[in-house]
């Protein structure tokens, strides 16, 4: 292809790409958007060595736009059959990242609302706040709690506070590995057990020792005065020969005695009162992203 012909082709391509009638076909745009969010990228490309993500660890990361641009260009180069395709790609490759970004912010929302009436869906694209950031969590927590709730706060590219930070992707890559991507720079993460996960619980002290530290009053607050908020030190009794089976009767007696000692129990102590003391709300863990090193 001679230079004059190539320039003529590029001129016509420019007219097509800047024309109001031209737009990226929706399926291709959605595919590029998912690729930008690392869907379909082999895990060993993200974590090349297991030592980078050991068990019971969390690793924060930036998504490099240069790397993503090369990923999109490479994926879009499949199927070239002529020099004309190459000329077209020379003009279009600088738009791959922008085109993918227009759809990337809609991927998660479309998965959430796909069962709803399309008329109820907000299809207005939101801008990407580069640099995109996220984290990988490798923990038995991810495997044991299938409905973990994750919320992030951070800043956009200009340093403006975003709370909450838009979630672009939350996916379980394996039973104990969770990948999360956010639209902006993450500064802090809150991971909460599923809200339906009310359970009987106690605080771990290590070495298979558990304690009940906080008890609830079962009489009107004005009758116990300064006893509100008092902490306790009740070691959970275990059945003989076991470190994991609670001796419920002994524990109930300890809790009842502690409540009566501070006059925080009015009436009998039944299974209902025992349940009130033992129920724990879902746990919540907070993480702060590492600060950038200066210099």
Domain layout of the chain by residue ranges: 3-192, 199-280
- Residue 11's pLDDT is 64
Q: Average pLDDT for consecutive 10-residue bins of the chain (295 residues)?
A: 62 58 72 93 93 94 91 80 67 75 85 56 72 93 84 90 93 94 94 80 85 82 53 90 89 93 86 90 84 65
- Residue 201's pLDDT is 84
User: H/E/C letters for each residue in the chain?
Assistant: CCHHHHHHHHHHHHHHHHCCCCCCCHHHHHHHHHHHCCCCCCHHHHCCCHHHCCCCEEEEEEECHHHHHHHHHHHHCCCCCCHHHHHHHHHHHHHHHHHHHHHHHHHHHHHHHCCCCHHHCCCCCCCCCCCEEEEEEECHHHHHCCCCEEEEEEECCCCCEECCCCEEEEEEEECCEEEEEECCEEEEEEEECCCCCCEECCEEEECCEEEEEECCCCCCHHHCHHHCCCEEEEECCECCCCCCCECHHHHHHHHHHHHHHCCCCCCCCCHHHHHHHHEECCCEEEEECCCCCCC
- Residue 16's pLDDT is 56
């Amino acid at each position: 292809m001679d230079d004059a012909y190539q320039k003529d082709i590029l001129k016509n391509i420019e007219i097509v790409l800047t024309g109001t009638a031209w737009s990226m076909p929706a399926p291709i745009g959605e595919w590029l958007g998912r690729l930008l969010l690392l869907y379909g990228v082999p895990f060993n490309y993200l974590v090349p060595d297991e030592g980078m993500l050991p068990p019971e660890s969390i690793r924060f990361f930036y998504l490099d736009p240069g790397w993503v641009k090369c990923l999109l260009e490479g994926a879009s180069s499949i199927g070239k059959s002529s020099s004309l395709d190459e000329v077209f790609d020379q003009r279009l490759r600088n738009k791959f990242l922008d085109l993918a970004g227009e759809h990337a912010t809609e991927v998660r929302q479309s998965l959430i609302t796909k069962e709803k009436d399309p008329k109820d869906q907000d299809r207005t694209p939101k801008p990407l706040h580069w640099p995109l950031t996220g984290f990988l969590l490798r923990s038995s927590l991810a495997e044991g709690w299938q409905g973990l709730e994750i919320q992030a706060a951070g800043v956009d590219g200009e340093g403006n506070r975003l709370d909450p930070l838009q979630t672009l992707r939350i996916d379980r890559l394996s039973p104990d590995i969770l990948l999360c991507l956010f639209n902006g720079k993450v500064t802090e993460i809150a991971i909460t057990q599923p809200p339906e996960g009310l359970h009987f619980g106690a605080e771990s002290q290590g070495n298979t020792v558990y304690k009940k530290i906080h008890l609830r009053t079962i009489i009107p607050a004005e009758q116990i005065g300064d006893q509100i908020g008092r902490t306790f030190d009740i070691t959970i009794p275990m059945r003989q020969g076991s470190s994991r089976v609670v001796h419920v009767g002994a524990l109930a007696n300890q809790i009842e005695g502690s409540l009566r000692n501070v006059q925080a129990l009015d009436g009998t102590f039944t299974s209902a009162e025992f349940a009130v003391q033992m129920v724990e709300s879902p746990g919540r863990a907070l993480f702060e992203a590492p600060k950038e090193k200066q210099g």
